[in-house]
Amino acid sequence: VAPAVINGLLAAVGDEHIKVRYRAARVLVALAGRAVTPDLVKGLLAKLHDNDDYVRYHAAAALGGMDKSAVTPDVVKGLLAALREKDQLLRQNVAEALVIMGTNAVTPDVINRLLAALRDKQYFVRANAAKALVKLGGRAVAPNVINGLLAALGDEHNNVRSRAAQSLAKMDVSESADDENDGRKYHQLKKVIW
């Protein structure tokens, strides 16, 4: 895809007419899965901080839909910054983007931000954070992650509890049972899940 096309679509996402923004954003989401260029990534990262909610949501979705080889430290850093925004739907979309990226997005910062998101005010952000933690794979299976997910089992919202239980069930927590204390936690966890 030519840079002029990408730049035109990025500009159209900020158009004053909602139908133009909507269609341009949908095309960018589709392109992000097939034609990732540095200009597209840079533009989408900038759009995470756009004034228009709709533009931010689609930028997060497009970044999450990128080819796994395009997930760079800059992309992860941009998503982590957006995970701190006040906009609850943006935080939800960013958490979902991290779910889609899976193991390609694993950094200590990502894990820490997702653990913090387990305590978010909005239940759907908490639920997506729980879902994202399991998608991050074995590097996310650490005592602090397990403890965070165990705490989420007591959440007031059933969707969060369900996602936390699913995440714990999919993790191979036996690998994290390095000492006697961790071993006890593992057996407690087995009782909760199974």
pLDDT value at residue 188: 55
Answer yes or no: is pLDDT of 37 > 90.
no
Of residues 60 and 35, the one with the higher pLDDT is 60
Domain ranges of the chain: 103-194
CATH of domain 103-194: 1.25.10.10
pLDDT tens digits, one per residue of 79-97: 999 988 889 889 888 888 8
Question: 68-97: b or e for each residue (b if 16 or more CB lie within 10 Å)?
Answer: eebbeeebbebbbebbeeeeebbbbbbbbb
Whole-angstrom CA distances from 122 to 24, 26, 79, 147, 161 are 29, 26, 18, 20, 13
pLDDT of residue 192: 54
- 117-174 pLDDT, tens digit per residue, is 999 998 988 998 888 887 775 555 678 888 898 899 999 999 899 888 888 887 765 5
pTM, to two decimals: 0.67
Give the whole-number percent of the chain exceeding pLDDT 90. Answer: 10
